Chain A
């Protein structure tokens, strides 16, 4: 008899214990979440420069430059906001 395989109940998940399932459960990276800004900035930099550059040969260099600038800007903003919190809120 034909038994359709359900994405909700795959055979490997038949055990009662809930194992980590990629793309279903959140990634267990609770302590490393600030690092998740890096791939997002890289993706934004690549797509933005792919749209802006006339020739694709220019994209790698330009994308790395803007990627670094985004990260520096984010770190500066984070530092400034942390300073405001320390000086104003926690005082």
Chain B
């Protein structure tokens, strides 16, 4: 399969490849012509993220409260797993938005996974984001090596 070889068929700049990989998991590989690799990692990463939300519920993705006291680093470190979750791109940001909406709704604000299920869902979503970081670095490296 020529599209899967290490030789890229496109000359996209590495920063653009990395950005595309963050926006849509696997899109970085797609830009450099490695379409099977793009589909494989994209579908797998999104499946892991969605499975994490299915296990724990959408409230497992929670953005830090930026109105809380302290500096920016302290606010972010109140929810450190969001750093991993946001690496999956707009899907993670959208999930955090929906989660925030549910947290402010009268009907669903108390619906939140606890204990093991919360930990497992957090692990799934954060690992999905970190796997996406791995793939976008690799895609950018392959684009630069051309």
Contact = CB atoms under 8 A, between A and B. Distances in A.
B12 interface: no
Interface string A17-40: 000001111110110010010011
B5 interface: yes
Given A40-B123, A56-B37, A57-B4, A47 B134 contact: yes
Interface of A is mostly: helix
A8 to B, nearest CB: 4
Interface size of B as a range = 35 or more
Given A46-B40, A47-B45, A57-B1, A26 B131 contact: no
Contacts of B36: 56
Identify the interface centre among A8, A26, A40, A46: most chain B CB within 10 Å of its CB. A26
A22 to B, nearest CB: 6
A8 B4 contact: no
Contacts of B127: 40, 43-44
B107 A55 contact: no
Contact of A43 (B6, B48, B102, B107): B48
23 contacts: A7-B101, A8-B102, A8-B108, A9-B107, A22-B54, A24-B57, A24-B59, A25-B57, A27-B56, A36-B120, A43-B131, A44-B131, A46-B40, A46-B44, A47-B131, A48-B131, A50-B44, A50-B135, A51-B41, A51-B138, A55-B5, A57-B1, A59-B40
